[in-house]
Amino acid sequence: MKVEEIMTVNPKTIDQETNVSLAMNRMRSGKIAQLPVESRGKYVGMISHRDLVRKKSIHLNSKIKNYVVRVPELKKDDSIETALNLIKESATGALPVVEKEKIIGVVSRTDIIRKIEEFPEVSKLKVFEIMNEAYSANKNEDIEVVMEKIRDHDADSIPLINDENRVIGLLRANEILEFQMKEKGSDSNSHIRGEKERFDIDVTSIMEDPVICYEDDDLTTAAILMVNKHMHSLAVCDKGQRISGILTMDDVINTLGESSSTEGMLVNVSGLSSGDSDIYGIIFAMAEKFMERFSRVANLKNGSFSVHVVKHKSEEGGIKYSVRTRLLAKKVNMTVSYSGWNFGKVMSEIFDVYEKRSKKELNKD
């Protein structure tokens, strides 16, 4: 199947001189997470709602050219497998289809998941087999706390729970940002800040009805639900509707095409900024050494290793690292989380756990 068969044709675009506030409103009204950016009719890059949410401070009147990122480009004759692998490698939600410097289409994770039947290897998978650890916000928490949790998990929404751990609603980042924008008013010097700003609001007043799946649901069914509801993640619940995990679009995408993906382990890192080069270096150096050993022991030729890092600053100025990881390959699906003040030691502990688990699993066989 070719890219031109699945791409969104003639997508909405935005000029690089447009204000951030207008770009955010356009993405929200169109229920899209990314927009191609143009300058004088020529494609120059992409802007994503996810990237804007990560910012601690946004000047509403600043131009989106300050937030544009370059991502790999597709041709209309590329295969769906090429698009899938590039989305995995670039860790982005959508890729532009470009011809003679003009944007002619966009291929998103959603477009690929709509064709999930093209990947028969996932047909027998259940949600519980690939879901992540649960995260949520309590209905009594302040909106600033909720928004910080969304940022920490590199998400665009978060399940809202009651005191019994049952899912009662859903909070989207764009709804929170829109509320904050209204509260800030039309002042030309307005910013949206993630710190030291207090907004008096009951979070249940802006929540949506819950969108959930269950642990034993087929992965294909849950993935299509995610697409139909314009979600990038779903709360996974037990039979009593108590939250037990989170299924993300990235989880689904990283599962697709494993049998035919490029040889070698793909390392996905999220939660860090461009200024965290030292942490990136530690992750890739340690992951490379571990993967060499693991591949020999488990006889694996390809797979993916995902790392999400959350940094917590103490009042004394120190940083505590909370790290969630997932190792996904043929017949291997493991998750390990750990936290500590020394990032190198945190990663070392995580890899030790993986090594012990994998040896134990291999001994069973």
**Full residue range of the structural domain in which residue 70 is found:** 3-114
Domain harbouring 350, CATH code: 3.30.160.100
**122 within a domain of the structure (yes/no):** no
**184 within a domain of the structure (yes/no):** yes
Residues 191, 214 within the same domain: yes
Task: Report how far residue 187's alpha carbon sits from residue 291's, in angstroms, rounded to the nearest whole number.
Answer: 52
The pLDDT, as a whole number, for residue 192 is 47
**55 within a domain of the structure (yes/no):** yes
Rounded to the nearest integer, the mean pLDDT of the chain is: 83
Last residue of a domain, one of 53, 81, 114: 114
Element (H, E) at 343: helix 343-364
Confidence label for 97 from pLDDT (cuts 50, 70 and 90): very high
Residues 155, 219 within the same domain: yes
Does residue 106 have a pLDDT over 90?
A: yes
CA 146 vs. chain centroid, Å, equals 17
Residues 132, 234 within the same domain: yes
The pLDDT, as a whole number, for residue 261 is 47
| Angle, CA 310 vertex, CA 61 and CA 71 arms, to 5° | 55
- pLDDT, one tens digit per residue, over 270-299 is 777 667 888 989 998 998 888 777 776 666
**65 within a domain of the structure (yes/no):** yes
Does residue 6 have a pLDDT over 80?
A: yes
Domain harbouring 90, CATH code: 3.10.580.10
CA 160 vs. chain centroid, Å, equals 18
The pLDDT, as a whole number, for residue 196 is 46
Nearest one of 339, 159, 315 to 234, comparing CA atoms: 159
Residues 337, 266 within the same domain: yes
- pLDDT, one tens digit per residue, over 227-263 is 998 888 999 999 889 999 999 888 888 888 754 445 5
Does residue 326 have a pLDDT over 60?
A: yes
What's the rounded mean pLDDT across residues 162-189? 75
Are β-strands 243-248 and 233-237 bridged in parallel, bridged antiparallel, or unpaired? antiparallel
Task: Report how far residue 80's alpha carbon sits from residue 84's, in angstroms, rounded to the nearest whole number.
Answer: 6
Kindly report the backbone phi and psi dihedral angles of residue 113, in degrees, each rounded to the nearest multiple of 5, phi listed first.
-65, -30
Confidence label for 195 from pLDDT (cuts 50, 70 and 90): very low
Residues 331, 277 within the same domain: yes
Residues 92, 176 within the same domain: no
Residues 18, 86 within the same domain: yes
**285 within a domain of the structure (yes/no):** yes
Q: Provide the edge-to-edge strand list for the sheet that holds 243-248.
A: 212-214, 233-237, 243-248
Specify the 3-state DSSP secondary structure of 260.
coil
Number of H helices, E strands in the chain: 11, 18
User: Would you say 34 and 47 are in contact if contact means Cβ atoms under 8 Å apart?
Assistant: yes
Counted domains in the chain? 3
Last residue of a domain, one of 114, 149, 165: 114
CA 317 vs. chain centroid, Å, equals 28
Residues 203, 220 within the same domain: yes
Alpha helices for 172-312 (secondary structure H):
173-184, 219-228, 249-255, 277-298
What's the rounded mean pLDDT across residues 308-323? 85
The pLDDT, as a whole number, for residue 161 is 95
Please give the residue that has the higher pLDDT: either 185 or 65: 65
Confidence label for 220 from pLDDT (cuts 50, 70 and 90): very high
Residues 170, 189 within the same domain: yes
Confidence label for 223 from pLDDT (cuts 50, 70 and 90): very high
Task: Report how far residue 289's alpha carbon sits from residue 283's, in angstroms, rounded to the nearest whole number.
Answer: 10
Residues 105, 72 within the same domain: yes
- pLDDT, one tens digit per residue, over 337-358 is 899 999 999 999 999 888 888 7
The pLDDT, as a whole number, for residue 34 is 86
The pLDDT, as a whole number, for residue 188 is 44
Residues 232, 267 within the same domain: no
The pLDDT, as a whole number, for residue 306 is 83
**119 within a domain of the structure (yes/no):** no
Share of the chain above pLDDT 90, in %: 33
Last residue of a domain, one of 71, 86, 114: 114
Nearest one of 140, 124, 84 to 331, comparing CA atoms: 124
Q: Which residue has the tokens 């302040």?
A: 142
Residues 152, 188 within the same domain: yes
- pLDDT, one tens digit per residue, over 36-66 is 999 998 999 998 877 776 666 667 678 888 8
